[in-house]
Chains A and B, each alone.
Chain A
């Protein structure tokens, strides 16, 4: 019985989404609205040290500094966009986990859909052509051979 509980616990741990934030208690803002904005912003910002983690989830030193910076600017009255502009001016668009849609990133945003459309279109055209193509009529020689074969078969059966 006990073994099953352990197994269940392990499974639950595996299935649970990673909700634990790296934010330490002393960072949390007293104003819950600002704190919520800080969390939301932190989740969009890439930790430049660990790269595939947001600064909200990362324990890296720099992520910690950036989280505090975001909160300090929120308290100072910055809008979300001002904070994002502040950080991209220093670290570039790379700090955004979701890259902005601009000509340089069109391939990234629309490439997969475009490839899918081209592929689907190609298959559709190919299938339609195949359906439409009528079988060629038999030539005179082929017709004669066919009749000869069918004739001999008919003769065999009788």
Chain B
């Protein structure tokens, strides 16, 4: 009889299981999508420099030989402004950062970088946003970690935060360069 009683617990346990699963799901940020490009080579692309800027353009060939960051940014993007000091600090500490300038006007990029500082070694101008689609970009800013073989190892969606840099980015770069 007690065994039969225990059977009645099964639905309660199943319900609790589903409830816990869904509750955990609620704690995740639905706006952050995993990239399917992790572990794959960077897409083939060739972007011209931003007109009037003293930085060369960017193509797939530039992303081989060392671990680098590729940051997709725009002067009209407010969160980009927030992460810019962090990028500058990374660039100062010797991390090579390349930029893909997304749907922007050259004179506005120029003014924006003049105001905030320019952490980028190269900047490719993606005026149509077509190359960004090949990178699976769905909003700016996004930051990719590329290894020496030109493979995408990680993607940060949204502005980089200090804890992203300390806990994920720097250890990852150390391992890739190690």
Give A151 Cβ to nearest chain B Cβ, in Å.
35
Let me know if A91 and B136 touch, CB within 8 A: yes
Complex Cα gap A89–B138 (Å):
14
Let me know if B37 and A65 touch, CB within 8 A: no
Q: Which residues of A contact B136 (CB under 8 A)?
A: 90-92
Q: Which residues of A contact B81 (CB under 8 A)?
A: none
Q: Which listed residue, A49, A92, A122, touches B34 by the CB 8 Å rule?
A: A92
Let me know if A88 and B30 touch, CB within 8 A: no
Complex Cα gap A115–B11 (Å):
10
Interface residues on B, range: 10 to 19
Complex Cα gap A12–B148 (Å):
60
Q: By DSSP majority rule, is chain A's interface helix, strand, loop, or mixed?
A: helix
Complex Cα gap A91–B38 (Å):
11
Assuming the contacts A89-B36, A90-B36, A92-B36, asked whether A49 and B138 have C-beta atoms less than 8 A apart, the reply is: yes
Mark contacts of A112-141 with chain B using CB atoms, 8 A cut-off: 1 yes-contact digit, 0 otherwise: 000100010010000000000000000000
Let me know if B103 and A61 touch, CB within 8 A: yes
Q: Which residues of B contact A75 (CB under 8 A)?
A: none
Assuming the contacts A61-B103, A65-B129, A122-B11, asked whether A92 and B35 have C-beta atoms less than 8 A apart, the reply is: yes
Complex Cα gap A156–B134 (Å):
96
Q: Is B24 an interface residue (CB 8 A)?
A: no
Q: Is A62 an interface residue (CB 8 A)?
A: yes
Q: Is A66 an interface residue (CB 8 A)?
A: yes
Q: Which listed residue, B11, B14, B30, touches A51 by the CB 8 Å rule?
A: B30
Q: Which residues of B contact A61 (CB under 8 A)?
A: 103, 129
Mark contacts of A21-54 with chain B using CB atoms, 8 A cut-off: 1 yes-contact digit, 0 otherwise: 0000000000000000000000000001101000
Q: Which residues of B contact A91 (CB under 8 A)?
A: 33, 36, 136, 138
Let me know if A62 and B36 touch, CB within 8 A: no
Give A18 Cβ to nearest chain B Cβ, in Å.
22
Q: Which residues of A contact B11 (CB under 8 A)?
A: 119, 122
Q: Which residues of A contact B134 (CB under 8 A)?
A: 90
Q: Is A8 an interface residue (CB 8 A)?
A: no
Let me know if A90 and B31 touch, CB within 8 A: no
Give A121 Cβ to nearest chain B Cβ, in Å.
12
Q: Is A69 an interface residue (CB 8 A)?
A: yes
| Given A90-B136, A92-B136, 7 other A-B residues pairs in contact with their CB atoms under 8 A | A48-B139, A61-B103, A62-B139, A66-B133, A90-B37, A90-B135, A92-B34
Mark A residues whose CB is within 8 Å of B: 48-49, 51, 61-62, 65-66, 69, 88-92, 94, 115, 119, 122
A-B pairs with beta carbons under 8 Å apart, 18 shown? A48-B139, A49-B139, A61-B129, A62-B139, A65-B129, A65-B130, A69-B130, A88-B36, A90-B36, A90-B133, A90-B134, A90-B136, A91-B33, A91-B136, A92-B33, A115-B14, A119-B11, A122-B11
